[in-house]
């Protein structure tokens, strides 16, 4: 073991290796020295556990890899060929060019973010989105925060802390990624009162649970699952009517928050924000980066007096939205105002993409891959906790793996190669075949996908 220690080079010796010296051209010397020390220290530890000393090449390569990995961004653009349009792991909604331009402009210089250009005095960032949100949803007032989870938390804390909030048992659910209605409720300091059963809740269940401590009735859209068979939920308008009768606000967590009628696209109906407002919800809350197709945000629309209470609450400052996303959201909402969302917002372009166009692209991809690939019928899904169980007919490129021997199946190996390429291409695996859906790939990326597939299959 002693002799193994002696085979390790000194720090200076390691630093004089060509592969390590090269690093100093584009990285600071301090960083290279520190990483070289670290790598040597780790080798000493592994020798004391009985391993042999690494070769000079291995040490130099380890230093080079680690320095480059530290300096390079790990957040990379990827190509989404999964057919899941709003994919939370892949960053949800891609933005329109107009939204991207607006965000770039807001980042480049200064803006009147919180300045009233008329008076020269202090303004509020909510004024930039309030009017357009009210116009699009029919609400009296609006505010925008970091994301929908913070919107719901803010509403519960500002309006319901130390009081009771009534929720249907079928809606005290987990939305995914750790957003559990009962846990959010606990964090807000509001007491959750569950009513009804897992599959059935009636207006009378809410009514009987109302006490002098009740602060609100909450509706949570079951955005990522569907109860089929014998099931009964209370309609938001019936809930709002009960609220009016009892003087209680109805808070509506819509999740995705759609502004267009999904039924017109062959999808199941998703509750829209204007419907929620018109039905009498006191506050309707939804995400900016799901079906709306904008940047990450939490949007709260509803009664002016309640929005004002949220805006005044100290937590509002902690969950406020930044200027770039505010600009991107304003541009995204602009598409809806102009009636061009379907043409300009990528999420809606993908939903509305004609099947013929998808098939033509799938055949073009397959043509470059020869025997290995075929085109087949399949389904794209909207994803992002919206429209569970509702898919869009699509055409998939299917690459069948040969029946697997030991270890990962051929399909898994191919999917992995695609994922590890640059740019990474994300595919779906089903029944030992790799499936790729052109619907979620921007058409200008088609040559990149073809190239990645050719490389991975070579």
Ligand X SMILES: *Cc1c(COP(=O)(O)O)cnc(C)c1O
Decide if residue 381 touches ligand X (CB under 6 A): no
Distance CA 152, CA 319 (A): 11
Evaluate whether 309 touches 402 at the Cβ level (below 8 Å): no
Q: How far apart are CA 131 and CA 114, in angstroms?
A: 16
Q: Rounded to whole angstroms, what are the CA distances from 268 to 4, 260, 294? A: 67, 12, 22
CB of 179 to ligand X, least distance (A): 5
Q: Give the DSSP H or E segment for 284.
A: strand 283-287
Q: Which is nearer to ligand X, 33 or 231 (CB)?
A: 231
Cis amide leading into 423 (omega within 30) = yes
94, two tokens: 């891609």
Q: Does 221 interact with ligand X (rule: CB under 6 A)?
A: yes
Binders of ligand X among 185-214, rule CB under 6 A?
none
Q: Is residue 147 a contact point for ligand X (CB under 6 A)?
A: yes
Least distance (Å) from ligand X to the CB of residue 448?
A: 29
**Applying CB under 6 A, does 438 fall inside the site for ligand X?**
no
Q: Residues 82, 96, 137, 148: which binds ligand X (CB under 6 A)?
A: 148
- Of 38-46, 147-155, 234-242, 393-401, which segment contacts ligand X by CB under 6 A? 147-155
| List 220, 242, 267, 310, residue binding ligand X (CB under 6 A) | 220
Nearer to ligand X, 15 or 133 (CB): 133
Q: Does 332 bind ligand X (CB under 6 A)?
A: no
In whole angstroms, give the CA distance from residue 368 to residue 244. Answer: 63
Six-digit token string for 186: 């606990």
Q: Name residues contacting ligand X, limited to 280-299 (CB under 6 A).
A: 287, 298
Residue 175 makes contact with ligand X by CB under 6 A: yes
Q: How far apart are CA 429 and CA 411, in angstroms?
A: 7
Q: Where are the beta strands (DSSP E) in 171-211?
A: 174-176, 179-180, 191-195
Stretch that binds ligand X, among 130-138, 145-153, 274-282, 356-364 (CB under 6 A): 145-153
Looking at the Cβ atoms of 179 and 206, the one nearer to ligand X is: 179
Count of residues in contact with ligand X, rule CB under 6 A: 14
Strands 373-383 and 391-400 turn out to be: antiparallel
Q: Is 85 in the site for ligand X (CB under 6 A)?
A: no
Contact 107, 453 (CB under 8 A): no
Residue 248 Cβ, how far from ligand X at the closest point, in Å?
Answer: 21
Scanning residues 225 to 254, which ones bind ligand X (CB under 6 A)? Answer: 253
Q: Which residues contact 149 (CB under 8 A, 6 or more apart)?
A: 179, 184, 298
Residues at the contact surface with ligand X, assessed by CB under 6 A: 147-149, 175, 179, 220-221, 223, 253, 255-256, 287, 298, 385
């Amino acid at each position: 073991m002693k002799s193994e220690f002696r085979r390790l080079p000194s720090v200076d010796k390691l630093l004089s290796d060509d592969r390590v010296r090269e690093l100093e051209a584009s990285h600071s010397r301090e960083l290279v020295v520190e990483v070289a020390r670290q790598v040597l220290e780790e080798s000493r530890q592994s020798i004391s556990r009985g391993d042999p000393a690494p070769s000079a090449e291995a040490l130099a390569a380890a230093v080079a890899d680690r320095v480059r990995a530290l300096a390079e961004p790990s957040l990379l653009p990827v190509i989404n060929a999964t057919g899941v349009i709003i994919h939370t792991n892949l960053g949800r909604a891609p933005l329109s060019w107009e939204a991207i331009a607006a965000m770039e402009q807001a980042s480049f210089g200064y803006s009147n973010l919180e300045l009233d250009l008329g008076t020269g005095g202090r303004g509020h960032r909510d004024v930039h989105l309030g009017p357009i949100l009210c116009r699009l949803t029919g609400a009296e007032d609006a505010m925008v925060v970091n994301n929908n989870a913070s919107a719901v938390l803010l509403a519960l804390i500002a309006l319901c802390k130390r009081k009771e909030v009534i929720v249907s048992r079928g809606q005290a659910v987990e939305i995914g990624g750790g957003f559990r209605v009962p846990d959010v409720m606990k964090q807000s300091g509001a007491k959750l009162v569950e009513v009804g059963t897992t599959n059935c809740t009636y207006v009378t269940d809410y009514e009987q649970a109302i006490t002098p401590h009740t602060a609100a009735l909450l509706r949570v859209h079951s955005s990522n699952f569907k109860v089929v068979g014998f099931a009964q939920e209370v309609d938001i308008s019936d809930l709002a009517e009960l609220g009016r009768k009892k003087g209680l606000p109805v808070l509506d967590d819509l999740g995705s928050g759609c502004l267009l009628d999904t039924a017109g696209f062959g999808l199941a109906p998703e509750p829209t924000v204007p419907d929620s407002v018109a039905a009498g919800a006191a506050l309707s809350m939804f995400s900016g980066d799901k079906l709306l197709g904008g940047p990450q945000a939490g949007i709260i629309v509803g009664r002016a007096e309640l929005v004002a209470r949220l805006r005044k609450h100290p937590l509002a400052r902690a969950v406020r939205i930044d200027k770039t996303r505010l600009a991107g959201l304003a541009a995204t909402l602009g598409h809806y105002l102009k009636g061009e969302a379907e043409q300009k917002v990528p999420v809606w372009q993908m939903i509305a993409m004609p099947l013929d166009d998808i098939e033509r692209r799938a055949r073009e991809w397959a043509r470059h891959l020869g025997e290995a690939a075929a085109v087949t019928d399949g389904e794209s899904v909207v994803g992002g906790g919206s429209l569970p169980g509702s898919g869009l007919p699509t055409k998939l490129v299917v690459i069948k793996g040969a029946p697997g021997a030991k270890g990962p199946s051929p399909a898994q190996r191919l999917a992995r190669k695609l994922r590890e390429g640059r740019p990474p291409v994300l595919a779906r695996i089903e029944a030992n075949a790799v499936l790729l859906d052109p619907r979620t790939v921007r058409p200008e990326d088609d040559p990149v996908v073809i190239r990645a597939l050719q490389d991975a299959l070579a």
